[in-house]
Amino acid sequence: MTDPRQTPAEGPHFLLSAEAMFSAAHTLPGVPMCERMHGHNWRVRVTVRVAQTDVDAVGMAVDFRVIERAARDAVADFEHAHLNELEPFQDRPPTAERVAQVVCGRVTGRLADIAPSATVEEVEVWELPQYRVSYRPGPA
Ligand SMILES: [Zn+2]
């Protein structure tokens, strides 16, 4: 049984999202078509959760610009890069799933400092307008 007092996330809360874009190349060894180097205009959406009880006196859960900045900073080194050459992807090819996990880790670290009431609920990554992966880190 889950103690509801230990899962405030299940209580009333807000979900807020902001997006960042970057253009980058990758290769996925062993995957037909994808093993040839190619590029995408990647789209990343970061969604954070803030408990209703943490909304400030103005009525804001967290400033959208804070989420946007965290999302942009998380992908800053991806811009015009060959993702396979970057440190997070040295030993594991940069699939959309792994891009989402890396962004989630970076944003989580950043928000802990600047918006501690906000937790990352979901990171979505689009390689193409019709191809999206969603990563949910689950309860901390
Ligand atoms: Zn691709």
Query: In the chain, where are the structural domains located?
Result: 4-135
In the reported structure, the alpha carbon of residue 46 is separated from the centroid of ligand 1 by a whole-number distance in angstroms of 20
CA 1 to chain centroid, in Å, comes to: 30
Going residue by residue through the chain (140 aa), what tens digit of pLDDT does each one get?
444 445 555 799 999 999 999 999 999 999 998 999 999 999 999 999 999 999 999 999 999 999 999 999 999 999 999 999 999 999 899 999 999 999 999 999 999 999 999 999 999 999 999 999 999 998 87
CATH superfamily of 4-135: 6-pyruvoyl tetrahydropterin synthase/QueD (3.30.479.10)
In the reported structure, the alpha carbon of residue 96 is separated from the centroid of ligand 1 by a whole-number distance in angstroms of 8
Question: What is the model's pLDDT at position 92?
Answer: 93
Q: Residue 33 phi/psi, 5° resolution?
A: 75, -50
Question: What is the model's pLDDT at position 2?
Answer: 47
Contact 115, 56 (CB under 8 A): no
In the reported structure, the alpha carbon of residue 17 is separated from the centroid of ligand 1 by a whole-number distance in angstroms of 24
- Per the structure block, which two tokens stand in for 84? 């396979």
